[in-house]
């Protein structure tokens, strides 16, 4: 009889949410929206971004629509683990710029009962899968594919058109280097 009266402590179940899409599709904006809602619910929130992303601010994630939220720059994805201990909700922006270990980091955070919200490009400028995002998509409980608007025809756009001659896979930039395109109007530069 005493056994049935025991108070049981259950571990909170964590999960991974991925927001993906092309540039200008509102990924960071959606990440910020979810983070702000978590704050309204009085959850402890921490947001990270890769050190390579210095486009708008070193101390904030910033959407193309100029919404922002305080964040910490991280060089190594494994640093996120030690900096997330006291938080319930972890936001990670521009995940495609992190190393492959970001997948394990997100898994460990979710296994520890945290809500992990990750945003990033799912395709590079050639419309090829942009690692490590495909692996994050595979292990996530929730996936949101955001669409932009093609600057040529106005159709839904899920591709990122590079407007420079650089063939480097990673070229950090915004409207100065990229625009959203649909499948029909996406052209791979130099091909």
- Three-state DSSP at 58 gives coil
| Active-site hit among 17, 29, 30, 94 | 94
Q: If pLDDT is split at 50, 70 and 90, which confidence band does 11 have?
A: low
Name the strand (E) or helix (H) holding 121: strand 115-121
Q: What is the pLDDT of residues 34-49, one digit of tens each?
A: 999 999 999 999 999 9
Phi and psi for 145 in degrees, rounded to 5? Answer: -100, 110
pTM for the model? 0.88
Domain 11-147 homologous superfamily, CATH:
P-loop containing nucleotide triphosphate hydrolases (3.40.50.300)
Q: What is the pLDDT of residues 74-95, one digit of tens each?
A: 999 999 999 999 999 999 999 9
Q: What is the pLDDT of residues 54-74, one digit of tens each?
A: 767 778 888 887 788 999 999
Concerning whether 94 is annotated as a catalytic residue, the answer is yes
Establish how many alpha carbons lie within 13 A of residue 64's alpha carbon, considering only the half-sphere containing its beta carbon. Answer: 15
Provide the residue ranges of all domains of the chain, joining segments of one domain with +: 11-147
Q: If pLDDT is split at 50, 70 and 90, which confidence band does 98 have?
A: very high
């Amino acid at each position: 009889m005493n056994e049935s009266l025991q108070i049981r402590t259950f571990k909170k179940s964590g999960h991974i949410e991925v927001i993906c899409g092309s540039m200008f599709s509102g990924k960071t904006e959606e990440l910020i929206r979810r983070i702000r809602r978590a704050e309204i619910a009085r959850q402890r929130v921490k947001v990270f971004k890769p050190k390579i992303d210095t486009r708008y601010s070193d101390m904030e994630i910033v959407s193309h629509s100029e919404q922002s939220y305080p964040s910490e720059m991280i060089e190594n994805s494994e640093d996120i683990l030690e900096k997330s201990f006291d938080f319930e909700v972890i936001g990670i922006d521009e995940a495609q710029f992190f190393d492959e270990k970001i997948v394990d980091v997100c898994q460990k955070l979710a296994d520890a009962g945290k809500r992990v919200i990750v945003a990033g490009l799912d395709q590079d400028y050639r419309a090829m899968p942009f690692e490590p995002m495909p692996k994050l998509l595979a292990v996530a409980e929730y996936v949101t594919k955001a669409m932009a608007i093609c600057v040529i025809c106005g159709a839904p756009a899920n591709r990122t058109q590079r407007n420079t001659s650089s063939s480097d896979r990673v070229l950090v930039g915004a409207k100065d280097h990229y625009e959203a395109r649909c499948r029909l109007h996406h052209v791979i530069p130099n091909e």
